[in-house]
Amino acid sequence: MGRILGSGVTVTAKVFGIDRVPAVKGLGLPGHSARSMKGWGVTYATSPQGADHTAGGVVQDPLSSHGQHQRSRDSQVGMAIFDSTGLCLFTYLRSNPDLIVRSLNGLYGVDWTVEDFLEMGREALRKERAFNQRAGIGPGADRLPLWMTKEPLPPTNAVFDVSEGDLNSVFDFSVFL
């Protein structure tokens, strides 16, 4: 039993014949509901590592599907930067990239701009997605389980209704805001 459970939610569900599995890319969804917190849902669906709550949280307009793909993109870029620099997301510096860039410039004697900093995050995500592609995990895996798009979550009866077009455009950095 320990080996089964230790193999993760997807393997456990398969062993026990369960087909309604709350997982993306083999990683079980965290506690933030993707149906009622649609920005989190976009991140869970599109994050290179799967349903990771630390890959880019989105809390604005949780029940609206409008603009969540852009919010998720921005948040995932920011978290890729934090992961790449070793900064902790609980420093709450994400809202002030200029301060982070000035600090890094002073610490390392470089002359980065905020745009250089953002490009570092975008490039990290490009590399993670390229790795996934080589491992057989393509853009088609960037989806939540189908039942989350159909089964309403009480009390708001929300379903995950962010469009496939929006999900497909999350990593289109040519439209980066």
Q: Could you tell me the CA-to-CA distances from 79 to 4, 43, 97 in Å, in that order?
A: 31, 11, 12
CB burial of 119-142 (b: ≥16 within 10 Å; e: otherwise) equals: bbbbebbeebbeebeeeebeeeeb
CA 86 to chain centroid, in Å, comes to 18
Strands, E, within the chain: which ranges?
23-24, 27-28
Is the confidence at residue 177, as pLDDT, over 60? Answer: no
Is the confidence at residue 93, as pLDDT, over 80? Answer: no
The reported pLDDT for the residue numbered 173 is: 87
8-64 per-position pLDDT tens digit = 999 999 999 999 999 999 999 998 889 999 999 999 999 999 999 999 999 999 999
The reported pLDDT for the residue numbered 6 is: 95
Q: Please state which of the ranges 28-32, 38-42, 85-89, 93-97 shows the lowest mean pLDDT.
A: 93-97
The reported pLDDT for the residue numbered 175 is: 67
The reported pLDDT for the residue numbered 46 is: 97
CB of 58 within 8 A of CB of 43?
yes
Domains in the chain, ordered, with CATH?
Answer: 33-175 (1.10.599.10)
Is the confidence at residue 86, as pLDDT, over 90? Answer: no
Separation CA 96–CA 65 (nearest Å): 26
Nearest to 138 by CA among 25, 23, 22, 19: 25
Model confidence at 176, in pLDDT bands (50, 70, 90)?
low
111-169 per-position pLDDT tens digit = 999 999 999 999 999 999 999 999 999 999 999 999 999 999 999 999 999 999 999 99
Model confidence at 89, in pLDDT bands (50, 70, 90)?
confident
Q: Residues of the chain with pLDDT > 70: what percent? A: 97
3-state secondary structure of 72: helix
Dihedral sign for Cα atoms in the order 109, 111, 114, 115: negative
Say how many C-beta atoms besides its own lie within 10 A of residue 28's C-beta: 16
Local structure of residue 60 (DSSP, 8 states) = S
Burial of 87 (0-12, 13-18, 19+ CB in 10 A): middle
Helix count and strand count (H, E) for the chain:
8, 2
